[in-house]
Amino acid sequence: MSTLWSPFVHDLVPYVPGEQPRIENLVKLNTNEHPYGPSPKALAAMQVALTDDLRLYPDPSSTKLRQAMAARVGLEASQVFVGNGSDEVLAHAFNAFFRQPEAILFPDITYSFYKVYAQLFDIRYELVPLNQDLAIDPADYAKANGGVIFPNPNAPTGCLLPLASIRAVLTANPTRVVIIDEAYIDFGGDSAVSLVNEFDNLLVTQTLSKSRALAGLRVGMAFGQRHLIDALERVKDSFNSYPLGRLAQAGAQAAIEDEGYFQSTCDMVIMQRNSLVAQLQRRGFEVLPSAANFVLAKHPAFAGAALCAGLREQAVLVRHFATPRISDYLRITVGTPDQHKALLTALDELLA
What pLDDT was estimated at residue 24? 73
DSSP letters for 255-266: HHH-HHHHHHHH
Which whole number is the average pLDDT over 308-326?
Answer: 95
Mean pLDDT throughout 116-135?
96
pLDDT at position 16 is 76
Average pLDDT of the chain? 95
**Domain range list for the chain:** 2-37+260-351, 40-258
Cβ proximity of 298 and 286 under 8 Å:
yes
CATH architecture of structural domain 40-258: 3-Layer(aba) Sandwich (3.40)
CATH number for 2-37+260-351 (one of 3.20.20.140, 3.40.50.720, 3.90.1150.10, 3.40.50.300): it is: 3.90.1150.10
Q: How far apart are CA 166 and CA 182, in angstroms?
A: 12
* 160-214 per-position pLDDT tens digit: 999 999 999 999 999 999 999 999 999 999 999 999 999 999 999 999 999 999 9
pLDDT of amino acid 9: 85
Phi, psi at residue 127, to the nearest 5°?
-85, 130
Q: How confident is the model at residue 1, as a pLDDT?
A: 55
In terms of Cα–Cα distance, which of 100, 152, 99, 93 is closest to 121? 99
> Which helix (H) or strand (E) element contains residue 57?
none
What is the pTM for the complete model shown? 0.95
**Are both 2-37+260-351 and 40-258 of the same fold?**
no
